[in-house]
Structures are given as C-alpha cells and as structure tokens.
Amino acid sequence: MFEIIRPGYPRLGRVPGLACAAFLAGATATICRADQIEYSAYHVGDNSKNTVATTSFSLAKTLWLRTTILLDVELDQTTAPPLADGVTGASRPARHSKEEFRKNRGQIIGGVEQGIGDNTKIMGSYYFSQETDYQSQSFTGALTQSFADKNFTLTLRGQYSLDSVGEILADGSISNRFKETHQLSLIATQILSATTNIRVGADAMRNHGFLSDPYSKFPVSDPLSSGLLLDTITERHPSMRFRQAAWAEISQYLRGLDASVVFSYRYYWDDWNLTSHTGTMQINKYITPDWVFSPEYRYYTQTGADFGDYSKGSPGSYDAVDSKLRPFGANTVGAGVTCFLRTFSRNHPTWDFMNNSSAAITYLRYFNDVVPRNFTADIWHGSLKFTF
C-alpha cells in the first residue's frame, strides 16, 4: 500500500494509486499454485489528522486447466480535518476548508491469466477507480517465461493509465484535466539454492498531462513590503516526466534460526533531476510452526527536483513547493504477526477449510524530516487469506 515506488511519502487520499500493479504482481506470483480469497483492511492516520480507511476483497480462481481469473474490489474513505487558514490542503476543495471533509473512492480490477504449456503465462487486466474529483483507468499486460526447470523466470509487464484529474471549484462544479502514464517493467527471478533466491528488475515510466496537485496552493508575498500578500497561486509542474528505477532483492532462509531475511535496494531517477535510494530489510521468524513474527525497516532518501531542462527556457515557471519534490529522508519501522489458522483446525475436522488459511496484522510507523513540519503516519493493515 505505502509503496514508495514513486519518490516521496504517500499522498493520503490516493494511497492505493499503484494497487493495480501491486495486486497483479502478487497474484501472478501465487495463483499458479492454488485458488485464493483474501480480505484486507487498512487504516492510515497522519499528524495532521488526515485519515484513510480501506477495505478490499481479492479473488484468484482457476476456471479450468491453466486459466485463472483475477478480481479485486476496494473501497476507501478519506477524512481531512478543518484547516486553520484555508490556504492549502490535501486533495480537498477550498470551499470545505473550514469544516471536516470526507470523500469516498472505489476501485475494481478484473483480469485473466492463461498458461501456455508448462513454462509460459500471459496475463491481461483492466483497472478502474472513481472518486468525486478523480477518475483513473488502466490496461495491463504481462508475459512470464520460466527456464531451467523453473529456476529462472523472466516477466515483462506493460501498463497504460488514463486519468481525469479533477478539482472541486468554489461553486461546487468540477474542473477536469488530462493525465496519462505509460509504464514498462522487466523482472528476473533466480533460485540460487534451496534456501536462497534473488530478484532484480527495472522500471521505466512516462507521465504526460497535468502533473500537479490542483489543491496545492501557496501564498506569494511582496519582498519589498514586509511580506505583503500579493496572490495565492496553484502548484505548477511541467506536463512531461520520464522516470526510471532499478532494484534488487535477495531472500535467504536461515535454517539454524528457523527464519528468513529479505534485503532489497532500489535506485530511482527522473528528468526533473530527482533521485532517490530505498533500502529495506525484513525478518520472518517462526515463533512456533503456526506463528510468524516479522519486523521490518525501510530507509528512504531523495534529492530535490529542479525540473531539469524543462525550466531552462522559462526560469521560475515551475516550483517545488510540493514537499515530495524537496530533499528529505524518511524511515518506516514496524512489525507484523502472521497466524496460520491450522493451529485451530488441527483438532477440529469440521474446520478443515482453515488448514491452508492465515490471518495477519501489521503496524508501521512512518516519519520523515521534511521542513518546516515533519510528516508522520501510523499504518495498520489486517488481512485474512484462504487458499484452496
């Protein structure tokens, strides 16, 4: 959910922005073995008292040999508190600046994965999400090919997204702006041994259209008049952005500790001259055969954006008031607990449906050093998974 694939901290109100890619990536990696149903819930709250509550349902169902359908339905509600000055806000109209503002969002993903022989799979999907002032749809296709008795796997994935970026105006009407995204990913997975595997990947993305936040406004003062307010203007960004990333992940099972450890690193750069580094470590420790404790830590750091060659022709045309485009570092730390429900069904034959099921809960604390006010958030995630 809090992907930090894009630079900066997640924007409340649009936390599941890459849910389509994340869901399909996870589904493609697991459903080839069994059908699966999963119920999930998230709750996110930051230090400005913005909150996001999300519930989702995911299904991977084999219709016949090597053909599987994918379905994901998600609903979330964003709540933003009243603002003291009404100058800026997180995805909220100015006319609601003095009162609590709530809006709902829904999304649905439908897809099909088809096996071709024993070593090839193709997948296609459609994603649609809708909220009061934002609409998004995307089309995704993927090809997965296994080699060397499935010890080496390559996945090529492409995605096209078309968004309508809306702004609720003072009179209640909505002004919409166009945005599109092209994305291509290549992922390689290699099993090195019975206890070690490695994954590497590269992502390329092209954003085009309205790339600003219509609700991000800031005051402009007269430097010669002791800060006299001249105007309040809207965030301004170029209409094009090319983004790239390369990453690697290694998973190692430690027999002596009955645990696994996962390390990952990601390097990102774009033509707005913003670069970032992300390092993650997670440990999965079996406390008992049915209980797993999973502490994790992620560190993220980025440079600021100066908009590169886009700003050379007209200096000062673009601004980096958006905190996510400034230099900062961020930390995410927390832990999760997973319970395999077979611990309850082992002595109850009528509960056999729980034998391959699990429940999990995770808490994460996010904080960064953005000036002038550090951003912090508490993230809770719970899930119930049934595999057949």
Residues contacting 81, CB < 8 A, separation 6+: 48, 49, 50, 100
Evaluate whether 317 touches 347 at the Cβ level (below 8 Å).
no
Cα–Cα distance measured from residue 388 to residue 360, given in angstroms and rounded to the nearest whole number: 18
Token pair of 87 as six digits: 């100058």
Write out pLDDT tens, residues 209-231: 999 888 877 665 555 555 555 55
Is pLDDT above 70 for 172? yes
Per-residue model confidence (pLDDT) at position 157: 98
Segment 25-50 mean pLDDT: 75
Beta pairing partners, 266:
247, 278
Q: Which is more confident, 320 or 244?
A: 244
Name the residue with tokens 């998600």. Answer: 74
Nearby residues of 190 by Cβ (< 8 Å), 6 or more positions away: 151, 152, 197, 198, 199
pLDDT of 63 > 60? The answer is yes
Instruction: Return the higher-pLDDT residue of 20 and 372.
Output: 372
Encode pLDDT of 282-321 as tens digits: 999 999 999 999 999 999 999 999 898 888 766 567 876 7
On whether residue 227 sits in a domain, the answer given is no
Q: How confident is the model at residue 279 (pLDDT cuts 50, 70, 90)?
A: very high
The percentage of the chain sitting over the pLDDT mark of 90, rounded to a whole number, equals 59
Nearest residue to 6 (alpha-carbon basis) of 288, 271, 224, 276: 276
pLDDT exceeds 70 at position 79? yes
Low-confidence winner among 7-16, 41-50, 176-185, 301-310 (lowest mean pLDDT): 7-16
Instruction: Say if 93 falls within a structural domain.
Output: yes
For residue 24 the two structure tokens come to 């399909």
Q: Is residue 218 part of a domain?
A: no
pLDDT of residue 30: 41
298 within 8 A of 331, measured Cβ to Cβ: yes
- Please, which pLDDT band fits residue 83 given cuts at 50, 70 and 90? low
Residue 176: burial class (beta carbons within 10 Å; 0-12, 13-18, 19+): middle
- Residue 156: pLDDT above 90? yes
Please indicate whether residue 149 or residue 169 has the higher confidence score (pLDDT). Answer: 149
Distance, CA of 165 to CA of 163 (rounded, Å): 6
The mean pLDDT value for 174-194 works out to 96
The C-alpha atoms of residue 260 and residue 235 are separated, in whole angstroms, by 45
- Mean pLDDT calculated for residue range 186-194: 96
Cα atoms in the Cβ-side hemisphere of radius 13 Å centred on 234 = 12
User: Is 359 contained in some domain?
Assistant: yes
- Whether the CB-CB separation of 40 and 58 falls below 8 Å is answered with yes
pLDDT surpasses 70 at 324: yes
What's residue 198's pLDDT?
Answer: 98
Residue 273 lies in a domain: no
**Structure confidence at residue 95 (pLDDT):** 56
Q: Is the pLDDT of residue 20 over 50?
A: no
For 332-368, write each residue's pLDDT tens digit.
999 999 999 998 888 887 887 788 899 999 999 999 9
pLDDT for the residue numbered 87: 38
Q: Which pLDDT belongs to residue 276? A: 98
Q: Is residue 143 part of a domain?
A: yes
Average pLDDT of the segment spanning 87-115: 76
Is this prediction's pTM over 0.75? Answer: yes
Q: Which two tokens stand for residue 75?
A: 């609903």
What's the rounded Cα separation, in Å, for the pair 364 and 11? 16
pLDDT at res. 214: 84
Give me the pLDDT at residue 91, please.
56
Return all residues near 383 (Cβ < 8 A) that are at least 6 apart.
Answer: 38, 39, 40, 41, 359, 360, 361
| pLDDT, position 23 | 43
Specify whether the CB–CB gap between 366 and 44 falls below 8 A. Answer: no
Q: Which domain holds residue 120?
A: 19-209+235-251+304-325+338-387
**9 found inside a domain:** no
- Model pLDDT, residue 346: 82
Quote the pLDDT of residue 10.
36
**What is the residue-averaged pLDDT of the chain?**
85
Distance CA 221, CA 144 (A): 55
Model pLDDT, residue 15: 38
Please state the domain count of the chain. Answer: 1
Distance (Å, whole) CA 36 – CA 125: 17
Q: Would the pLDDT of 74 be above 70?
A: yes
Residue 246 is assigned to a structural domain of this protein: yes
Looking at residue 298, its pLDDT comes to: 98
- Report the candidate in 133, 320, 301 with the shortest Cα–Cα distance to residue 216: 320
Residue type, 100: E
Predicted confidence band at 234 (pLDDT cuts at 50, 70, 90)? confident
Q: Please give the pLDDT value at position 376.
A: 92
What is residue 261's predicted lDDT score, i.e. its pLDDT?
97
Asked whether residue 34 carries a pLDDT value surpassing 70, the answer given is: no
Average the pLDDT over 107-128 and give the result. Answer: 96
